[in-house]
Structure 1
């Protein structure tokens, strides 16, 4: 490829950054602008990973190295479809890759889901991670809490709810999160999995972390610790599943540990109703006991249990939001595509438009899986180079200036990064997050 190639990536999370990295390494004449509606890079690594996960957050070191490339430019606080329209981007770039991820909770259609005290796990994660676009208060008034789900997000939500605030004070949580958790009267957190222990979606690392708090006793209830042939096949074929099952069986057999808070793991319990009313909020959760069907799936038994809880958090998966002026499948929460090439409602390719990450394949898999996904999309883009219409101008920053958009830059992020680290230093913490959007922008744009 001889001619210059200018590409916009919408979304500065791992999917977008990996796509920029792969593209610039594969095409020496390519430059990439990564635009994000947040003033900061890193997406769900900054705003979707629990603050007591320093090992996962080390991924930021690798992403930081990518963004140091002189051929990759970060432009933050730019809302695609609002601050810049798709047709406007066509003037400044040969192609656009959509990598907006997923930060919305998947719906759960059961009675009572909209009661006060029924929350989305993703919303709670955004709160404790200091996301600038969510309210800074959270109603932590329940003594007994239910968490619905058996994946890593459910584990994060349950762990943060169960831990004492002082345990999290060494992390980067903002002060309002610490103060909120410090007031929490919680004594018991119940995690409910619809399927059996052989189908658990938590990774072994996340599962072990549930048991690392000196103040929290993890209790695996023996009811539901059942296996069928489908479960045994998973255990035999996947090392991670076997590791999780071994951990659960050890916990199930051990003696009580008599700690001040308890985190209960329940298997083969499907939520069917959140109990309560609009005046009092959540007063309980009803589940239906399930039985394994031989192939690892389950069916209801018609036996129901009512649980005394005053709050319910659903953590059954993320879902992407529709993107302005782009085709979208609401059932899967994805943009229709063919090997990363965006398709319109008639199944025809949209010239110059591509997708990668969770908006492309749905919110499944771990962070590392996005590399393979990005490689496929970039390969499609490079195969199409001769058909791409060249950009008319490279003055996207001038366009944003004329529109009055207070965008942030990579140098601005480094100023904010240094400021947050400085805030944490007197307290022996790695950083303290700045939360208000206007403060992040002001610090980032200082001369």
Structure 2
């Protein structure tokens, strides 16, 4: 064996980093890598999961672009695994596959009322404001008072996008339909609920600071949440990140409020119990239990029940992976079962030779980009060492995959197509002094990408 033909399903950071690491690694064989992506454009959650007013985080795209633009990795966009191409197809054309499909749907929140009109998953809303081609163009922004459940970065992204004035988003790459939707929003109050206290939040100082920079938005905090116990004081004293978060929150407590047209409320020690309906199937309130520190960094219920009137609620309690056809899946944790990236059969935990995983579909939706790189290194190391157990493809030529997709009428996009789409979006933004304006409809993305392909 002198050459590894490797397929990677998923062209977000996890998949691209895995390809880059393998190409740069010490090995005794050549490598040819094809990335398959269900969307017409690459970059995954960096393009479709990061709020448009986060240009610093979107700077990751620059590093990903440099990897793809070297030209030693092929990309096939607008290809759906399980229908356009299957696991059996990959076995015929490759020696191994890495699944890097991430976690893109909302984790469940098991309380009554979740199914009411006006109850939304945060991941759906993020996909909408990021211009994901597979979600509706409109979003029902009709509520004056909104709740967001969660104390992670996604909860803060959702809260910020709801509270922020639409005109303040114009310098970003926000799609036109999203701007129009947010511009018409009647929201006045956004309430963010966390089950634990300020010293146990999951968001980062950077995300938190951005909330306090919102134009014409008051930050509202409640004194009862800052009666710290010994465990909270110890966390603040021993952890620099917690210390910075506390400093920011304490500074907000000293601000004068009452002059802004919108308010963003932070509620800690609040455990959601029920999303209350109005009798007609719509959200009317959030019922929650007041919690208290348990002296060990956790919380216990106090039995005190409170209720806040709202007309919409967003559940930002985490992401969850999706099952792939023919691939083992852990339904409890939302991941592909694996040992250090080597996929395992679900029934006997034996290795499924030739099949690997990396990123959130491997370890769950935790960690930042740095974790994704180390994650990919672990998986790639096993691929290199597992050479004796690779598949033996009957048709491993690079042309055979192109012929397969063409024979099935798959309108795939490639790297040149992404460059065309990228330049088109940049050109759309230029007259308005914006970096880019995203093209949203899938068929339009494909048409622009394939302009010179047919």
Instruction: Name the TM-score class by shorter chain.
Output: over 0.9
**In the alignment, which residue of structure 2 is the partner of 1:340?**
341
Q: In the alignment, what sits opposite 1:96? A: 97
> Structure 1 residue aligned with 2:429, among 417, 421, 424?
424
CA–CA separation in structure 2 for the residues paired with 1:420 and 1:279: 43
For 1:347 and 1:311, the matched residues in 2 are separated by: 43
- For 2:279 and 2:129, how far apart are their aligned partners in 1? 26
Task: State the partner residue of 2:365.
Answer: 363
What does residue range 122-271 of structure 1 map to in structure 2 within 5 Å?
Answer: 122-256=123-257, 258-271=259-272
The answer on whether the counterparts of 2:114 and 2:275 sit within 8 Å (CA) in structure 1 is yes
CA distance in 2, matches of 1:226, 1:167: 35
How far 1:260 sits from its partner (Å)? Answer: 1.1
The match for 1:52 is 53
CA displacement, residues 279-313 of structure 1 (integer Å, 9 cap, x when unaligned): 25111111100011111111111101110111100
- 1:402 paired to 2:407: yes
Q: Which of 430, 441, 444 is matched with 2:446 structurally?
A: 441
Q: In structure 2, how many angstroms separate the alpha carbons of the residues matched to 1:214 and 1:20?
A: 42
- Quickly say closer, same or farther: Cα 1:234–1:9, change in 2 above 3 A: farther
- Equivalent pairs, count: 446
Cα deviation for residue 368 of structure 1 reads 2.2
* Rounded Cα–Cα distance in structure 1 between residues aligned with 2:349 and 2:429: 51
CA contact (8 A) 2:219 2:257 kept: no
The 1-side partners of 2:275 and 2:212 are apart by: 28
Aligned to 2:19: 20
CA contact (8 A) 1:146 1:312 kept: yes
Matched ranges for 1:274-353 at <5 A: 274-277=275-278, 279=280, 281-345=282-346, 346-353=348-355
* Residue of structure 1 aligned with 2:418, choices 413, 421, 438: 413
For 1:223, what is the secondary structure of its paired residue? helix
Match of 2:5 in 1: 6
Q: Tell me how far apart the structure 2 counterparts of residues 128 and 218 of structure 1 sit (CA, whole Å).
A: 23
Q: Secondary structure at the match of 1:430?
A: coil
The answer to whether the 8 A contact 1:223-1:267 is kept is no
**How far 1:413 sits from its partner (Å)?**
0.2
CA distance in 2, matches of 1:57, 1:257: 34
CA distance in 2, matches of 1:236, 1:85: 53
| Cα distance, 1:39 vs structure 2 | 0.5
TM-score by length of 2: 0.96
Partner SS state of residue 225, structure 2 = coil
Please state how far the C-alpha of 1:31 moved relative to its aligned partner.
1.8
1:253 to partner: Cα distance: 2.8
- 1:393 maps to 396
379-388 vs 114-123, greater mean Cα deviation: 379-388
* Structure-2 separation of matches of 1:416 and 1:338: 38
* Runs (5+) with no aligned partner, structure 1: none
Contact 2:51/2:126 (CA < 8 Å) preserved in 1? yes
Distance 2:383 2:237 in 1: 39
Mapped pair 1:373 → 2:372: no
Q: Deviations over 1:229-275 (max 9, x none)?
A: 43334333432121111111111233226211110111000110111
State the shift of 1:277 in Å. Answer: 4.1
Corresponding position of 2:386: 384
Provide the secondary structure at the position in 1 that maps to 2:32: strand
Distance in 1 (alpha carbons) for counterparts of 2:215 and 2:326: 50
Checking the alignment, whether the CA contact within 8 Å between 1:228 and 1:296 is kept in structure 2 is: no
